[in-house]
Amino acid sequence: MAEETKTAGKAKKPVAKKAKPPAIEDKPFPEFIQEHFIPALAEAMQEKGIEDLQLTFVKAPIDIADLKEECWQVIGKWEGGKKQFNIYFLEEDIKGQKAFSYATNGSKPSTIESFMIDERKITLDLMVMYTLQRLNSQKWLGNN
């Protein structure tokens, strides 16, 4: 009985929680874009029937009108360059300001539009979904 009292009197040590691995969105910006966003976007677009997609990630000037500010961009081209879109990361951060443009037949984009401005939390899935949604609104995906 004395043993029972001893065991009952011992407090159980709390089990240490396993540390969650950091979210992929918290990885350094270039690493996230190159290792996660571009492959996920390529896969999603292939599922939509885009076979000859070329995705690049470059730091280049915004090539619209008189804008010559340099920023990181994901550039997508297909159909031999007849269709092109750019996602501009105005800050080196997926949570920062982003913009979108598109062009056809090798011409320069004529307008730049804000992109994902209402989202409080930016995730890989949301970035892919918004890109597909934007391209679909141009009737560039599927049987539109």
pLDDT for 35-51, tens place per residue? Answer: 999 999 999 999 998 98
Distance CA 44, CA 50 (A): 9
Q: What's the mean pLDDT in 104-123? A: 87
pLDDT, position 5: 52
More confident residue, 143 or 124: 124
**Model confidence band, residue 108 (pLDDT cutoffs 50, 70, 90):** confident
Check pLDDT > 90 for residue 102.
yes
Encoding tokens for residue 32?
A: 């996230």
Sequence ranges of the domains in the chain: 37-137
Backbone angles phi, psi at 19, to 5 degrees: -70, 130
Distance CA 79, CA 100 (A): 19
